Amino acid sequence: MRDIKENKISNNFFNFSTFFNTEILFTKRFSKNDILFKQFLIKHIVTTDEKKLEIKENEIKKIISLPHGETVDSFLSKFCSKRIVIYYGKSKLNPYELSLSIVASYLKIEDRYKIKISDDFYKIFNSEKNDFKLFYLNILLSFSNTISRNLFNLLKSISNEAFLEISLEELKNYLNIEESYDRFFDFEHKILVPALKEIEEFLLYKVEYSKIKESNSKNSKIKGIRFDIIQTADNNREKNLTLLFELFNPFAKNEKLLQEFITKQSFLYSFNYLKRNIEYSLLHSCKNLDSFLIEAIEKDYVNTRFKNKFKDFSKQYTLISYLNQNFTSLDDFRDNIFNEIDKKKLTELSILVKFMKSSFQLFKNNFLTNETLNKNEIYKTFYTTFQENNEFIFENKHLLIIAEFNDTCCESYFAILKK
């Protein structure tokens, strides 16, 4: 840890207004015993892939430390009544809210307990293919406190950047402790260091922090923190590979094959290269991840796939519009395409798109069935196909439109060409 003496703090690599932070709340306070038992159940799911377990009373007492007068029965009864509320999503415009209990039920037989874990909590950590892993819910719920969750969200948001400089006021505000720890010494040793230690095993890189002071004076007040992204040394390679595996394991048909392939490629490519192409493959593989991911790594799909498609089409047709820009919401990206269609005065298509957009707003909450809409080629392309595949190609007698939504792994692209 180093001191940095600077007069200005820049925050170029993190934007509080655009980053969507996964928020985890508890309907009732989780005690230390609740946290210990939660982590025990998570470990059970991960190691066995089972949502049921049988455990003796004395084994539970080894996991938790019951205060005087409390029994295992009373602990489990209170534990089952507590719920977790999770807000997450790809953008603030498209959020999800998940409310769940950890344990669905338990049955006591003499000194043994048969415990059934709730379905949704089980799915967050099991090997099933689902969206929970993409939103890091399995990692965030493994942490013991809110501080570690918030700091993890901050650090993973800058994983593709060199550093982040943030004022102490903003950092404490982000960690929701703005009114606490006036002395930096207390903040550093009670908050910053323990949180970094807890989340270290989940990061795909090493993070060093430095203190930013108001002046060169030895006793100058600390006004900010600089986080530096450090490429991991070779001796941590196995740990990094494990974390890469966790990105695609829930969605792979042949985990062993992909793990062997990624292990070999790790000698040839950087960590960020592999991570970005894995994330790209998860978005675009259309339920055929294994072969798609192998091609993505070999051909650098995150940088080449759309550009090659565009290059082929541009040889035949005339370019009307082209955009490459970062979008974290598919809905925002789609609206941008619609605006460009309108801006270029593609009258016939523009009228149909506006109609489909209005229809989508009407049907999106399943107020009425949308089976008729799905038969329409424009609706099917811009909504159904786009939503499922994060990309589409639309073509009629006069136009061709190609689009590719890439979330946070790289820029999203679209092009309009005239035949």
Domain end point (choices 81, 110, 134): 134
- Whether 336 is in a domain gets the answer yes
Alpha-carbon distances, residue 173 vs 16, 151, 180, 181, 324 (angstroms): 11, 11, 10, 12, 33
Please provide the average confidence, as pLDDT, over all residues in the chain: 83
Instruction: Check residue 365 and give its pLDDT.
Output: 53
Determine contact, residues 199/148, Cβ cutoff 8 Å. Answer: yes
Same domain, 141 and 166: yes
pLDDT tens per residue, range 244-280: 999 999 999 999 999 999 988 887 777 878 999 999 9
* pLDDT band of 79, cuts 50, 70, 90: very high
295-313 pLDDT tens trace? 999 888 998 999 999 999 9
In a domain, 18, yes or no: no
pLDDT of residue 336 exceeding 60: yes
- Same domain for 244 and 96, yes or no, is no
Identify the pLDDT of residue 2. 43
Q: Provide, for the chain, the percentages of residues in helix, strand and coil under a 3-state DSSP scheme, each rounded to the nearest 5.
A: 50, 20, 30
pLDDT at 264: 84
Whether the per-residue pLDDT at 11 is higher than 60: the answer is no
Q: Does residue 220 have a pLDDT over 50?
A: yes
Domain termination residue (choose one: 134, 164, 197):
134
Instruction: Determine the structural domain holding residue 188 and report its residue range.
Output: 1-11+136-230
With cut-offs at 50, 70 and 90, classify the pLDDT of residue 139: confident
In this prediction, residues 379-384 reach a mean pLDDT of 82
Same domain, 351 and 414: yes
Number of domains into which the chain is organized? 4
The answer to whether 305 and 382 are in contact (CB under 8 A) is no
Give pLDDT, residue 371.
64
pLDDT band with cut points at 50, 70 and 90 for residue 232 = low
- Helix or strand (DSSP H, E) at 323: strand 318-325
136 or 160: which leads in pLDDT:
136
Does 27 score more than 50 pLDDT?
Answer: yes
Shared domain for 323 and 386, answered yes or no, is yes
Question: pTM above the 0.95 mark?
Answer: no
From CA 230, how far away is CA 234, in angstroms rounded? Answer: 12
pLDDT at 140: 87
Mean pLDDT, residues 341-346 taken together: 80
The residue among 328, 138, 115, 354 whose CA lies nearest residue 246 is 138
Tell me: pLDDT of 76 over 90.
Answer: yes
Residue 315: phi and psi, rounded to 5, are -75, -25
What is the CATH number for 37? 1.10.10.10
Neighbours of 147 (CB within 10 A): 19
Percent of the chain predicted with pLDDT > 70: 82
- Alpha carbon separation from 46 to 39, 126, 371, 372 (Å, rounded): 11, 6, 39, 43
The verdict on 35 and 129 lying in the same domain is: yes
pLDDT at 172: 92
Token couple for 399: 């136009």
Q: Are residues 308 and 411 in the same domain?
A: yes
Q: Which of the listed residues 275, 299, 323 is the one where a domain comes to its end?
A: 299
Question: Residue range 178-206: average pLDDT?
Answer: 84
* Residue 75 located in a structural domain: yes
Task: Check residue 56 and give its pLDDT.
Answer: 95
Higher-pLDDT residue of 360 and 399 is 399
* Residue 44: C-alpha distances to residues 12, 50, 252, 292, 390 (Å): 41, 7, 22, 32, 34
Is the same domain home to 319 and 408? yes
Q: Are residues 156 and 183 in the same domain?
A: yes
Q: What integer is the mean pLDDT of 357-373?
A: 55
